[in-house]
Amino acid sequence: ERRAALAASSGPGATSDGHKVPLLANVGGPADVPAAVEAGAEGVGLFRTEFLFLDDSKKAPSEEKQIESYRKVLEAFPEGRVVVRVLDAGADKPLDFLTPGDEPNPALGVRGLRSLLDHPDVLRTQLTALAKAAEGLPVHLEVMAPMVADRIDAKAFADACREAGLKAKFGAMVEIPSAALRARSILQEVEFLSLGTNDLAQYAFAADRQVGAVSRLQDPWQPALLDLIAMAADAAKAEGKKSCGVCGEAASDPLLACVLTGLGVTSLSMGAASIPYVRATLAKYTLAQCERAAAAARASDTAEEARKAAQAVLSGE
């Protein structure tokens, strides 16, 4: 039955009553594109550009090298959306030339957008390379910053994008609880939000994502995490239906994908391998069912109860 469901699964992501939820792929570079295309991804929801920077720990790749890599990804989705995240260095993704090696708590230090604002030349080169890579292509390029904490961060990023002459939508990742709490303020500066649920869980629960001993707190079904997601999705809606996607691991769990849809999330981005499963599951339920499952999950006290409550709603128990 599962195989039949997957075989029948193709086309754009939507609930059974036609509420569209674009299913996008997370990629690390051109090598991940074929699998994304094969899975029927409607675009890229998270292009993690760090991988391009890992070849040389001493300096950033040249503008030419960056253009070449970005263009290959952009060309693969001619009419689609491609959301590129500028370099997210630091903490679990250290880069010698960018991130301080002597911080007591690297996850709370100069990482993500913070390190780019300290190295404006690196950010400028990356944004210029993206602008050039997209030239003449019909693709809908969107560019977002990791680790945006507040409106000041969002404005600094939007200013840098404008200065680089980038013709794209600018967005902010919501992966720090302060950004979820004040999402409406951040949306005064940027056009879209993308929830990084891996880091959002890490910071909401003070539970290092690299420490297995605290993995219980990293469970994306935690009701407190669902509350933060709902806050960001509500803010995007209140600010005139701006988009608010999820690009963290949470989006790859088919049941949770239905709950995220019910919370008002507007797109889901995940590793290509998960797309057919998420598409097939989402297509089984109406938006109203997803909303009821989301409400039941949020009314729970623990991750396990939230999962069971959503499952019970969706299976009609």
CA neighbours closer than 13 Å in the CB half-sphere of residue 285: 29
Q: Which of 197, 266, 289, 300 binds ligand PEP (CB under 6 A)?
A: 197
Query: Which residue in 107, 115, 108, 102 sits closest to 91, CA to CA?
Result: 107
Q: Is residue 45 close enough to count as binding ligand PEP by CB under 6 A?
A: no
Q: Which of 245, 248, 262, 276 binds ligand PEP (CB under 6 A)?
A: 248
Q: Is residue 171 close enough to count as binding ligand PEP by CB under 6 A?
A: no
Q: Which of 32, 189, 199, 253 binds ligand PEP (CB under 6 A)?
A: 199
Q: Is residue 145 close enough to count as binding ligand PEP by CB under 6 A?
A: no
48 contacts which partner out of ligand PEP, Mg ion, none, CB within 5 to 8 A by kind? ligand PEP
CB 41 within 8 A of CB 23: yes
Contacts of 88 by beta carbon, 8 Å cutoff, 6+ apart:
48, 49, 50, 111, 112, 146, 147
- Residue closer to ligand PEP by CB (options 88, 189) is 88
Taking the complex as a whole, the smallest distance from the CB of residue 175 to Mg ion amounts, in Å, to 5
Query: Which residue in 27, 26, 13 sits closest to 254, CA to CA?
Result: 13
What number of chain residues touch ligand PEP (CB under 6 A)?
10
CA atoms of 80 and 83, how far apart (whole Å) = 10
Q: Is residue 198 close enough to count as binding ligand PEP by CB under 6 A?
A: yes
Only one of the segments 55-63, 183-191, 193-201, 233-241 lies at the binding site for ligand PEP (rule: CB under 6 A); that segment is: 193-201
* Interface residues toward Mg ion, by CB under 5 A: 175, 196, 199
Q: Is residue 48 close enough to count as binding ligand PEP by CB under 6 A?
A: yes
247 contacts which partner out of Mg ion, ligand PEP, none, CB within 5 to 8 A by kind? ligand PEP
CA atoms of 32 and 64, how far apart (whole Å) = 20
Contacts of 188 by beta carbon, 8 Å cutoff, 6+ apart:
151, 154
